[in-house]
Amino acid sequence: MSDIDKKESDAKSLANIKEINAIQKEIDKYTKYIEHEKINLRLAKERYDKQRENLTSLQNEKKPGFARKEQEGKRQLSLDVIEREDYQMENKIKVVNDEINQVEQENKYLRLNMEELRKERMNLVELLENNITINKQTKIRFEEIYSRNKHNREDEDGLLSKFT
């Protein structure tokens, strides 16, 4: 194997390693993003639970000075607002869950891709080592044939000069 071929294969191997490192960095970035989204989701759920708890505690409290109709109207208005916020929060949770699932699928794909690249790299390294061994054996065989041919030519030249 010539130096140029070796340099090219080394460059390809280096490029594969760089690609694997870039994929790994991308996976790390998505993983951090998912973790942040999980934290934000948990905080949003806690805030929602606290608001709901406050609302239920306020609904059970009786306030003097208000007529029962006014209380019912305000209670219904509060329930409508809470239900709307609840619906919006559930939609946000669904969107975040969908994004998380999509990122997890991308991560799976990238991990599989990285594994395939590693296997391919190992196969290429093995193939390179085999080619180097074959090249060495071929060089040795070539040198043997060359020396035999040289020796045979010298014998022929010597024989021919004796007869002429």
For 20-69, what is each residue's pLDDT tens digit? 888 888 888 888 888 888 888 888 888 888 888 888 887 775 544 445 55
Distance from C-alpha of 74 to C-alpha of 87, rounded to nearest angstrom:
20
The chain-wide mean pLDDT, for the chain, equals: 81
Tell me if 26 sits within 8 A of 110, measured CB to CB. yes
Give, in order, the Cα–Cα distances in Å from 36 to each of 7, 29, 96, 105.
Answer: 43, 11, 11, 17
pLDDT category of residue 84 using cuts at 50, 70 and 90: confident
Q: Which domain holds residue 127?
A: 3-163
What DSSP string describes the chain? --HHHHHHHHHHHHHHHHHHHHHHHHHHHHHHHHHHHHHHHHHHHHHHHHHHHHHHHHHHS--TT--HHHHHHHHHHHHHHHHHHHHHHHHHHHHHHHHHHHHHHHHHHHHHHHHHHHHHHHHHHHHHHHHHHHHHHHHHHHHHHHHHHHHHHHHHHHHHHHH-
Domain count, the chain: 1
Asked whether the predicted pLDDT for residue 140 surpasses 70, the reply is: yes
Q: What is the mean pLDDT of residues 98-113?
A: 92
pLDDT category of residue 128 using cuts at 50, 70 and 90: very high
- What local confidence, expressed as pLDDT, does residue 126 receive? 95
- The residue with greater pLDDT, 17 or 126, is 126
